[in-house]
Chain A
């Protein structure tokens, strides 16, 4: 990406618990392999045309909000768990994993 990182701000809300969790990643700070994986999945989401408006909620399902920033361009995605494409699901699961750092770190 010509030395430019990709920044993803991520937030999950809803679920039975109704708890919000989130994380922010910057691919410039990640090992190359991981950075490429986020690049690939983010690009897939951007091309999918999904996430421009909040989909109707379903009881106790998760909702996700992602803001993807490339250089000075930002785009916000609102996604519902029940409507994720396989690639978006993979991206969300990776981000949840990162948001779920062990307690007390």
Chain B
């Protein structure tokens, strides 16, 4: 197959459309492999449709008419547990001086930008979904989440947590849950749930790294840095964060909260029924694998490591019940597709998983 020109030299787009709709797994695998050799925006959008599975390719994917602009609206819950409220900032509007509203607005924008600029994904659902957020949710509410339609941010209790909009990787993490929901749709339980958390941490961190222009060496690889108050103690002399992708288990070490429980190797996998079977705990294992791969590849983590992970997330063999090994193998196949069998990138991906006890 011609690698130097667009696949349209050879295969008309309608063929890919038919495969996306009616192809069997093998045909889709071929189509995915073929289109992944072409890095033009137009082709990337067809690839997204193929990887998403059945369903027609959007007409505008072929027309290339997507503006690449986020459509953001921020609402104020006024400290009630409600997901509707007064609009405090909408697309095109100026900063309003409410830190939570402005941080939410900017964070939605930074997240949209990573997905669109780097992965040619048009919003959470790859169909331009408007990005809504509600801030000041609940009374001293210690959480942030994507509820399937919008981002919800609490102000934190002030004792352990400050406002949840303060950390860009938290916003990127939550919106990545939306991306997972519209791709592999990993069940939020046990290993598939820990993978869901892992993917959210990866892209949450990448949103921040891309925004700050950080190389793998410059990135802090922390999740939730700045979110915990000064009351919470970090490990050693480091400020506290919730999780560390570089060194799982070292996010915090505090008298009240205890110690960050994340393992960094399959030998330390934690069996529990709490937290949906430890989804926020065992995610440390794939997090460390991603960090290993990114560090060895060097440069910017969103370029190669992030692209491999995003491709794996859309691999038809990664089902909602996928376990670590299934996903790890999908990253290996993605690296083979993108960089060639036996390429340094493929070896790096395999080594990254091997170091955490997963052999692909």
Residues of A within 8 A of B (CB): 11, 13-20, 54, 56-63, 65, 82, 89, 93, 100, 102-103
Contact B281 A100 (CB under 8 A): no
Q: Which chain B residues border A20 with CB–CB below 8 Å?
A: 274-275
Residue of B142, B159, B279 with highest tally of chain A CB at under 10 A: B142
Contact B200 A59 (CB under 8 A): yes
Residues of B within 8 A of A (CB): 81, 139, 142-147, 157, 159, 161, 164, 170, 173-174, 177, 180-181, 187-189, 193, 196-197, 200, 224, 231, 242, 255-257, 273-276, 279-281
Partner of A18, one of B170, B181, B275: B275
Partner of B144, one of A16, A57, A63, A102: A16
**How far, in angstroms, from A30 to B138 measured CA to CA in the complex?**
26
Q: Which chain A residues border B189 with CB–CB below 8 Å?
A: 56-57
Contact A16 B146 (CB under 8 A): no
**How far, in angstroms, from A71 to B139 measured CA to CA in the complex?**
34
User: Nearest chain A CB to B138's CB is how many angstroms away?
Assistant: 9
Contact A17 B280 (CB under 8 A): yes
User: Nearest chain A CB to B50's CB is how many angstroms away?
Assistant: 25
What are 6 A-B interface contacts by the 8 Å CB criterion? A13-B275, A17-B143, A17-B242, A54-B273, A59-B181, A62-B143
Q: Which chain A residues border B276 with CB–CB below 8 Å?
A: 14, 57, 63
User: Nearest chain B CB to A74's CB is how many angstroms away?
Assistant: 18
**How far, in angstroms, from A15 to B180 measured CA to CA in the complex?**
17
Q: Which chain B residues border A17 with CB–CB below 8 Å?
A: 142-143, 161, 224, 242, 280
Residue of A15, A18, A63, A103 with highest tally of chain B CB at under 10 A: A18
Evaluate whether A18 and B280 lie within 8 angstroms (CB atoms) in the complex, with A60-B144, A82-B147 already known: yes
**How far, in angstroms, from A62 to B152 measured CA to CA in the complex?**
13
Contact A60 B146 (CB under 8 A): yes
Contact A16 B188 (CB under 8 A): no
